[in-house]
A and B are shown apart, each in its own frame.
Chain A
Amino acid sequence: MYTMKWIQQDLQQYVQAKAYVDTIIVPLIPFHFSDDASLEKDAFQREVLSVFMRELEKEFSGRILLSPDYHYLKSADKAEEVKRVRSWVEDSWAQPFHHIFFMTVDSSWKKFEQDMNGTLIWLPQIVTESMQFSERQSVVHSQVQQVGEFIRSYWEDDK
């Protein structure tokens, strides 16, 4: 088993390995029903993010736990959302996680990063529908490598 997700088998593994898993990633996923024009585009970006997350967790499953997705309405007041997000991760800090990352394609979180009680990783939407399948894969792959490096730099600081 080399992925660690919120499913029973992996959680069993997690409980055994708890001492080694010190990093949690919370995907922040916007949704909405109102704006037809961007529905498709948003759905596509959500797909990209989930492919990205899958690859990332595969690389680092022994140390990173992927939290369930945090969904929020695109139009919602971010200041309010930040409070909810904080309450999520407060629970995580109470567990012995030393590193909490938020992963999103929504740049509007950037302004609130200070208040989030974790590190925001904003993935620019550089994968587009017009790209060939193989091109998408290689872009996602290089994004995973870069974000992986970034996360590892936090681990380095622990040493």
Chain B
Amino acid sequence: MSEDKRPVSRRQFLNYTLTGVGGFMAAGLMVSPLRMAIDPVLQKEAADGDLTNVQLAEGDITNEPQRIDWEIDQVDGWYESKVSKTAWVYKDDNGDIVALSPICKHLGCVVSWEGSEDYPDQFYCPCHDGRYYKDGMNVPGTPPTAGLDIYEHKIKNGMLFLGKAQPREEA
């Protein structure tokens, strides 16, 4: 996907925000809803939050986890870069969408669904044989001590949007 096809890039968004900062300071927070109302770009960004369209239609999500890759612009202090993201996406038995981070909770390698022939129906980490069940919970006795992070997600216009990956609540 080329960058110009996107509705608004992070850089544009920042520019909008930065130009607005002086105004915010002078007029206080009351200005903010007003700006949202008059600036369609900001409005859109606010509505989508930080969720990104990952170009997967809801109808294409099956019970079998599939790997989805996408890119986001990330600003690290002064340094802006493209960061590629990955998720394993499927529908669970209730038909609910699950989007798991592939980052192993042990030391951060990338796990794959059925990544080892010896363990079908599990996520497998090639680095130290870490394993996770389909729901992302770690298999006891393997190195990881927590389940895979879960992406916030939503469906809009039939497309899957993913946000940040969040650690699970400790049970």
Task: Determine whether the beta carbon of A61 is less than 8 Å from that of B126.
Answer: no
Give chain B interface residues in 89-129, CB to chain A under 8 Å.
Answer: 103-104, 106-110, 125-128
Report the nearest A residue to B101, measured CB to CB: A2
Cβ–Cβ contact A58 & B110, under 8 A? yes
B127 touches A20 (CB 8 A): yes
Contact B110 A63, beta carbon cutoff 8 Å: no
Partner of A20, one of B103, B107, B126: B107
Q: Does A79 contact B (CB under 8 A)?
A: no
The 3 tightest CB contacts between A and B, nearest first, are A62-B107, A63-B127, A62-B109
Interface assignment of A17: CB less than 8 Å from any CB of chain B? yes
A155 to B129, CA, bound (A): 11
Distance between B80 CB and nearest chain A CB, rounded to angstroms:
16
Q: Does any Cβ of B come within 8 Å of A101's Cβ?
A: no
Q: Nearest residue in A to B103 (C-beta to C-beta)?
A: A2
B127 touches A60 (CB 8 A): yes
State the main secondary structure of chain A at its contact with B: helix
Q: Is the CB of B126 within 8 A of A17?
A: no
20 intermolecular pairs with C-beta atoms under 8 Å apart: A2-B103, A2-B108, A2-B110, A4-B108, A20-B106, A20-B127, A21-B107, A58-B110, A59-B109, A60-B109, A60-B126, A61-B108, A61-B109, A62-B106, A62-B125, A62-B127, A62-B128, A63-B107, A63-B127, A155-B126
- For B104, what are the chain A residues with a Cβ–Cβ distance below 8 Å? 62
Q: Mark A1-40, 1 if CB is under 8 A from B, else 0.
A: 1101000000001000100110000000000000000000
Compute how far the CA of A58 lies from the CA of B85 in the bound complex, rounded to whole angstroms.
11
User: Does A68 sit at the interface, judged by CB under 8 A?
Assistant: no
> Shortest beta-carbon distance, B114 to chain A, in Å?
15
**A58 partner residues in chain B, CB cutoff 8 A:** 110
Given contacts A59-B110, A62-B127, 4 further A-B contacts (CB under 8 A): A2-B103, A62-B104, A63-B127, A148-B126
Q: Check: A41 CB closer than 8 A to any chain B CB.
A: no
Residue ID in chain A nearest B125 by CB atoms? A62
Contact partners of A152 in chain B: CB under 8 A? 126
Q: A4 — which chain B residues lie within 8 A by C-beta?
A: 108
| Residue from B103, B106, B127 with most neighbouring chain A CB atoms (10 Å) | B127
Query: With a CB–CB cut-off of 8 A, which chain A residues contact B128?
Result: 20, 62-63
Is there an interface contact between A17 and B109, defined as CB atoms closer than 8 Å? no
Q: How far is the CA of A1 from the CA of B104 in the complex (A)?
A: 11
Return B68 CB to nearest CB of chain A, in Å.
Answer: 14
Please name all residues of chain A whose beta carbon is closer than 8 Å to the beta carbon of B109 when the two chains form the complex.
59-63
Alpha-carbon distance A116/B106, docked complex (angstroms): 32
